[in-house]
Structure 1
Amino acid sequence: MNVLIVEDDMLQRKSLKMMIQQIDKGINIYESADKDEALEITSIYSIDVFYVDICLNSSSGVDFAIEIRKIPKYEFSFIIFLTTHVEYLTKAFKEVHCYDYILKPYNMSDVVNMTKHFKAHIEKTNEKSEVKRYVIIEVKSGVNVKIYVDETIFIEVYLRKCMIHTVNGIFKVNNLPLSKILKIINCNNIVQCHKSFAVNVNYIKKIENVDSKLSAIYFENYDENAPLGYKFKNTIMEQFQ
């Protein structure tokens, strides 16, 4: 499940994120402090649930919600408004057809129960439609490629070139640091294993020691392997086991 929190107060945003993460660490949570950044996120990722502050510093959460309702895939998405101003809610319900609202300060049980409801609904829907999560990557100027996250085997960055190894081939992207691609993909199963590599732990077949500081990671049905640095070994081994 992909969740977007649009909230300009960083402390409140982090508090809400922490509550949602307690439900399931596998929930992908994206954050934004303003309307423009939030719209950019919705164009890159497929968001399932929106938690939107009605009053943002530089814009209106209602205006943001009206904009995303114009996008076909978000026409019926779950939108929950965050507010201390109940007088704005009538407009929010009439113009945006939001699902519900949460009053500030947040009540944990309200957040948890509501998010669990969304999660159960989305999982049931995904089981029926077999929807696969993906990201859109610009591999070169004017050329964008849809990369399915679960089909990513490993990622390597060498001489300012990022190579994303997938079951459908290798995609090369210039000037994309490892830290940024990991942030874009935002998947708990894809974990950094070396200063220049990250692997999808679901594809690991074998880990073999090379020397005291380095190991090699081998993958199911894939000829190439990836290095495992000693600083990352414990994290990888925990998930591999």
Structure 2
Amino acid sequence: MGLILLVEDEQGAAALLRRYIENSSDGHRLAVFGKAAEALSFAAQNKVDLFILDIQLLDYRGTELARQLRALPEYRFTPILFTTELAGEELSAYREIKCYDFLVKPFTEEEFQKTFHAALEMGAQMQAVPEILRIEQKQFLFEYEIRNILYIESFGKRLLIHTAQTGGSEVTDRISGYSLSKLLNMVPRDRLLQCHKSFLINPVHICKIDKANRLLYLKECETAIPIGEKYQKAVFEREKP
């Protein structure tokens, strides 16, 4: 069951698409907005699995909304379907924004269902691929599976990235030219959590939080990670990942 975000300002078209999606009998959740700005705000606070965007919207164009969505790390590869009445523009959007597909109005329910299910299947396949953090260092490119990152600590302009390896060992790499805030913007939302001005941790590895001493412990890691006062509320809320 996925969350579908439909952005369509024409009530009749929105009602028709809602019926088509309900007829898919897959139990998808659906959020419908008539304005791009409202849809963008919703997407930033919820995990959306598929976007269906009308190119012509009341406040601004669906293609511009798609560009803003693509700028969010968690939606770089999420499938986007465009609906449009403008011949030719859908091809431009397809190339520039890398949407999954487009539907030219009027389209039949059969055409919609075929495209809709193909997009959902592609999105599910993309999610099955491990999420990777890629860091450039001069002529080298370091790639880390985000799920294997334990924590990252900062020492001025230098970072230490600690990762868990098969067998329980820990590997540490030294990285320069990156800040903690920059790394946070490079990964999907909530994958890493800042717990201290000098530390990011992977919340899926949390095994214990010592609130009295403001320390947290990670699975497969002997180091106790400090919790800064500024970040303690966010950390305590993630005690049970």
TM-score (norm 2): 0.57
* Residue 178 of structure 1: how far off its partner (Å): 0.9
Residue matched to 1:48: 77
Local SS of the residue matching 2:222: strand
Question: Across the two proteins, how many residue pairs are aligned to each other?
Answer: 179
Percent of aligned pairs sharing the same letter: 18
* Residue 90 of structure 1: how far off its partner (Å): 6.3
Alpha carbons of 1:219 and 1:26: their partners in 2 closer, same or farther (altered >3 Å)?
farther
Local SS of the residue matching 1:192: strand
User: Residue 157 of structure 1 contacts residue 163 of structure 1 at CA under 8 Å; is this kept in 2?
Assistant: yes
Residue matched to 2:226: 227
| Equivalent AA in structure 2 for residue 232 of structure 1 | Y
Larger radius of gyration: 2
Residue matched to 1:132: 130
Alpha carbons of 1:117 and 1:233: their partners in 2 closer, same or farther (altered >3 Å)?
farther
1:6-50 CA-to-partner distances (Å, cap 9, x unmatched) read xxxxxx8754422434652799xxxx98xxx999x8xx999423x
More strand by proportion, 1 or 2?
1
**What aligned pairs does 1:1-241 form with structure 2 within 5 A after superposition?**
14-21=37-44, 23-24=46-47, 47-49=76-78, 78=79, 80-81=81-82, 86-89=86-89, 91-92=91-92, 99-100=101-102, 118=119, 121-123=122-124, 125=125, 130-138=128-136, 140-168=137-165, 169-209=171-211, 211=213, 215-241=214-240
Alpha carbons of 1:155 and 1:22: their partners in 2 closer, same or farther (altered >3 Å)?
closer
Aligned partners of 1:224, 1:92: CA distance in 2, in Å?
51
Alpha carbons of 1:237 and 1:147: their partners in 2 closer, same or farther (altered >3 Å)?
same
Alpha carbons of 1:142 and 1:237: their partners in 2 closer, same or farther (altered >3 Å)?
same
Residue matched to 2:24: none
Q: Which runs of 5+ in 2 are unaligned?
A: 3-34, 51-62, 106-114, 166-170
Local SS of the residue matching 2:142: strand
TM-score (norm 1): 0.57
User: Residue 161 of structure 2 contacts residue 174 of structure 2 at CA under 8 Å; is this kept in 1?
Assistant: yes
Q: Which runs of 5+ in 1 are unaligned?
A: 2-11, 50-77, 104-113
